Chain A
Amino acid sequence: MTDRTAPTAGPPGAGHRPHALPARVLLGTAAALFVLTAATVATSRVEMGAFNVVAALSIAGLKASLVALFFMHLRYQGRFKAVVFATSVFFAVLLVGFVVFDTTQYQPDIRAQAARTRAKR
């Protein structure tokens, strides 16, 4: 029925030494981000049609992951915060994805109606 296990103990009190990110991790992440920015610009110069957007978003996604994992220390700290963030991204993607899907699906109806209106004039 109800569970009596103690909760995971809160983090230690006043004596706790904070886990500071090593300088090389911070600098390395920044360097990677600069490189990926250059990559974003470079790939945008290559004409790939609709795939340009996919490529740009993929690189942006990778950059955002680096910021989240390292600068925001998600990699080192608490699975739950990562779950919180991933959940928000999931629902944002759901919103964008489904609405864009739906809107492309009903465009033919709109165009047909517009054509009918023009024909009437």
Chain B
Amino acid sequence: MTTAAAGTAQGPAAESYLHHGRGLRSWLFTVDHKRIGIMYLALIAAALFLGGVFAMVLRMNLWWHGGGLVSNDAYNKLFTLHGAVMVFLFVIPGIPAALGNFVLPLQLGAKDVAFPRVNLLSFWLYSLGSALFVAVLVVGGVDTGWTLYPPYSLEGARGLGILLALAALFVVGFSSILTGLNFIATIHTMRPPGMGWFGLPLFLWALYATGIIQIVATPVLGITAAMGFLERLFHLGLFMPEYGGDPVLFQHFFWFYSHPAVYIMILPAMGIVSEVVSVFSRKPIFGYRFIAMSSIAIAVIGFFVWGHHMFVSGQSKWASLVFSFLTMLVAVPSAIKTFNWLATMYKGAIVLKTPMIYVLSFFAIFGIGGLTGLFLGSLATDIPLHDTYFVVAHFHFVMVGSVLTAFLAGLHYWWPKMTGRMYGETTGRLSALLVLVGFNVTFIPQFFAGVAGMPRRYATYAAVFQTNNRVSTVGSFILAAGLCLAVGGLLASLARGRRAPANPWGAASLEWSAASPPSHHNFDRTPTAGDPYDFSGLRLVSEEAGYVRAAGEAP
């Protein structure tokens, strides 16, 4: 196939990684980062589905202000599991594990990550953690909210569920730490000739910053889960007042991890946005160094603001003042990035393919999500808004609206590389539109409900909030439809999609000079890196053959 030879660092017709080794064992015991990424993708999609099913039941129960679809107790368990599964099994690991694992070595022109066996261990730990969360369901669930606050969560009456949940947190946490460790070591020591720090694609800057957070923050979650587990079993007296403990201590530990964790969620998403916006505006990214440095800034400043989740917890007023002030600071680098992305689009030649539509959605949604965070970060306005639907809407805007849209953008963007197939563009665009519309119809009414005073985590509510809730529920069905269409379209392309060229989008980072899909060892020779945002040397041969380096142009 001549297209394979043109513009790739790959010999003709090399066997793809998908066919290198057959059978279940060759997948479950693989150390190939690409296969690990695909396996993660499957489990992460399953987690999204499971968390989504919970969400739909919640939204349907909320159709009637008196509830009744499920018992109030079941409702409490459902929102707990919805939160836990989505946060720990989908949003936190999602982009780094499913997309990062696949793309990172390719963007570095490397054969694999620094520690392939540790990578496999990360995957097994994630699988074990997922199984533990499912076990929580099996033993009857937990109704504490995903934040698992003691003293309620550590009372004996919570049963086995809380022990399994804490164990799951511990295990999944280690998966995350090892992934971060692997990514930092790889980016740091395995760059190809020609790729200095400011020659890295911005997705890698994002993964690097994410790795810092994974390594520094996640161990605190681990020790907290362990302490909670032991407290429950042995009445240690660390968190439970009746044994001499302090429950606010749990909150400090929990949020010391969980606030930086939201940057584990958003930074990789922002990395994808940087890649896609540049490629689909056919214009080099504006303000590369600012975006790169902002990623690090977000990672670092993110560690100084955890107490903004605890304004009403009983922490001291000094703590509240400090955290509120610093929270304002963390918005700055995110704003810098947003302006740089928009400037990238200015006078660009916008290509409205599916990844770009998701990214445009991201700008709108992340804008709202970020701005509403300011109301919550401000001490005075947070007090009345705390634990209302305003908070729920805010974090869904940043976690779902932003991270999920970026994830879908990245998934469509790299799908040809991962599978060797082009997804159907019409289906893709339609799904993006449904997700955008459905998402906003679901969550905008929740801002209004929250400001009007509707509390979160309530199975029943005052009748005055019913209209907002019904609109929201309708939106959730549209969103669900969009997501099903997106997944369905991608899966269908595996059977029916056009074969993908190496470089369908005309991007300049190194993964696009490997075949689609890549061979087992990615590249025969380590490629020499050029500017990952210089598209001038690429020209479109045809839809089928994609983009190639024009003759005489250095890669």
Which positions in A face B, CB cutoff 8 Å? 1-7, 10, 80, 87-88, 91, 94-95, 98-99, 101-103, 105-106, 109
Docked Cα-Cα span, A6 to B529, in Å, equals: 9
Q: Which chain A residues lie closer than 8 Å to B212 at the CB level?
A: 87
Q: Say whether A106 contacts B314, CB under 8 Å.
A: yes
Is B194 located at the chain interface by the 8 A CB criterion?
yes
Q: Which chain A residues lie closer than 8 Å to B248 at the CB level?
A: 103, 106
Within 8 A of A (CB), among B313-347: 314-319
Q: Given the known A-B contacts A7-B196, A80-B188, are A2 and B531 also in contact in the complex, defined by CB atoms under 8 Å?
A: yes
Q: Say whether B193 contacts A6, CB under 8 Å.
A: yes
Q: Which chain A residues lie closer than 8 Å to B533 at the CB level?
A: 1-2
Residue of A nearest to B316 (CB): A105
Q: Given the known A-B contacts A6-B193, A6-B196, A102-B319, are A1 and B284 also in contact in the complex, defined by CB atoms under 8 Å?
A: yes
Given contacts A1-B284, A1-B533, A2-B198, 20 further A-B contacts (CB under 8 A): A1-B531, A2-B284, A2-B288, A3-B196, A3-B197, A3-B198, A4-B194, A4-B199, A6-B193, A6-B194, A6-B195, A6-B196, A7-B191, A87-B212, A88-B216, A91-B216, A94-B304, A95-B220, A101-B316, A106-B314
Docked Cα-Cα span, A96 to B303, in Å, equals: 13
Q: Which chain A residues lie closer than 8 Å to B304 at the CB level?
A: 94
Docked Cα-Cα span, A98 to B316, in Å, equals: 11
Is B532 located at the chain interface by the 8 A CB criterion?
yes
Residue of B nearest to A87 (CB): B216
Q: Which chain B residues lie closer than 8 Å to A3 at the CB level?
A: 196-199
Within 8 A of A (CB), among B268-323: 284, 288, 303-304, 307, 314-319
Smallest beta-carbon distance B143→chain A, Å = 27
Q: Which chain B residues lie closer than 8 Å to A2 at the CB level?
A: 198-199, 284, 288, 531-534
Q: Say whether A102 contacts B195, CB under 8 Å.
A: no
Smallest beta-carbon distance A93→chain B, Å = 12
Is B542 located at the chain interface by the 8 A CB criterion?
no
Residue of B nearest to A80 (CB): B188
Is B246 located at the chain interface by the 8 A CB criterion?
yes
Is B79 located at the chain interface by the 8 A CB criterion?
no
Smallest beta-carbon distance A6→chain B, Å = 6
Q: Which chain B residues lie closer than 8 Å to A4 at the CB level?
A: 194, 196, 199, 530-531
Docked Cα-Cα span, A95 to B314, in Å, equals: 18
Q: Say whether B315 contacts A106, CB under 8 Å.
A: yes
Q: Say whether B249 contacts A103, CB under 8 Å.
A: yes
Docked Cα-Cα span, A19 to B173, in Å, equals: 36
Docked Cα-Cα span, A109 to B313, in Å, equals: 12
Q: Given the known A-B contacts A5-B196, A103-B249, are A91 and B303 also in contact in the complex, defined by CB atoms under 8 Å?
A: yes
Smallest beta-carbon distance B241→chain A, Å = 9
Docked Cα-Cα span, A2 to B290, in Å, equals: 11
Report B213-234 CB contacts with A as 1/0, cut-off 8 Å: 0011000100000000000000
List 19 A-B residue pairs with CB atoms under 8 Å apart, sorted by A's residue number.
A2-B288, A2-B531, A5-B196, A6-B193, A6-B194, A6-B195, A6-B196, A7-B195, A7-B196, A88-B216, A95-B220, A99-B249, A101-B318, A102-B307, A102-B318, A103-B246, A105-B318, A106-B314, A106-B316
Smallest beta-carbon distance A104→chain B, Å = 8
Q: Which chain B residues lie closer than 8 Å to A80 at the CB level?
A: 188
Main secondary structure of the interface of B (DSSP, over half): helix
- Which A-B residue pairs are the 6 nearest by beta carbons? A105-B316, A3-B198, A5-B196, A102-B319, A2-B531, A106-B316
Smallest beta-carbon distance B309→chain A, Å = 13
Smallest beta-carbon distance A114→chain B, Å = 10
Contact of B316 among A6, A95, A102 (CB under 8 A): A102
Smallest beta-carbon distance B406→chain A, Å = 22
Smallest beta-carbon distance A49→chain B, Å = 24
Centre residue among A4, A91, A105 by max chain B CB count within 10 A: A91
Smallest beta-carbon distance B114→chain A, Å = 12
Docked Cα-Cα span, A58 to B225, in Å, equals: 30
Centre residue among A2, A80, A102 by max chain B CB count within 10 A: A2
Smallest beta-carbon distance A35→chain B, Å = 33
Q: Which chain A residues lie closer than 8 Å to B512 at the CB level?
A: none
Q: Say whether B199 contacts A94, CB under 8 Å.
A: no
Q: Which chain B residues lie closer than 8 Å to A109 at the CB level?
A: 314
Is B252 located at the chain interface by the 8 A CB criterion?
yes
Docked Cα-Cα span, A6 to B318, in Å, equals: 48
Is B505 located at the chain interface by the 8 A CB criterion?
no
Smallest beta-carbon distance B329→chain A, Å = 15
Smallest beta-carbon distance B193→chain A, Å = 6
Docked Cα-Cα span, A1 to B291, in Å, equals: 11
Docked Cα-Cα span, A103 to B310, in Å, equals: 13
Q: Say whether B303 contacts A94, CB under 8 Å.
A: yes
Smallest beta-carbon distance A8→chain B, Å = 9
Docked Cα-Cα span, A3 to B256, in Å, equals: 35
Smallest beta-carbon distance B466→chain A, Å = 38
Smallest beta-carbon distance A107→chain B, Å = 9
Smallest beta-carbon distance B218→chain A, Å = 12
Q: Which chain A residues lie closer than 8 Å to B216 at the CB level?
A: 87-88, 91
Is B189 located at the chain interface by the 8 A CB criterion?
yes
Smallest beta-carbon distance A4→chain B, Å = 6
Q: Which chain A residues lie closer than 8 Å to B220 at the CB level?
A: 95
Report B223-263 CB contacts with A as 1/0, cut-off 8 Å: 00000000000000000000000101100110010000000
Docked Cα-Cα span, A4 to B303, in Å, equals: 32
Smallest beta-carbon distance B323→chain A, Å = 9
Q: Which chain B residues lie closer than 8 Å to A103 at the CB level?
A: 246, 248-249
Docked Cα-Cα span, A12 to B252, in Å, equals: 46
Q: Say whether B319 contacts A98, CB under 8 Å.
A: yes
Q: Which chain A residues lie closer than 8 Å to B288 at the CB level?
A: 1-2
Residue of B nearest to A8 (CB): B196
Q: Which chain A residues lie closer than 8 Å to B195 at the CB level?
A: 6-7
Docked Cα-Cα span, A2 to B274, in Å, equals: 14
Q: Which chain A residues lie closer than 8 Å to B307 at the CB level?
A: 102
Q: Which chain A residues lie closer than 8 Å to B317 at the CB level?
A: 105
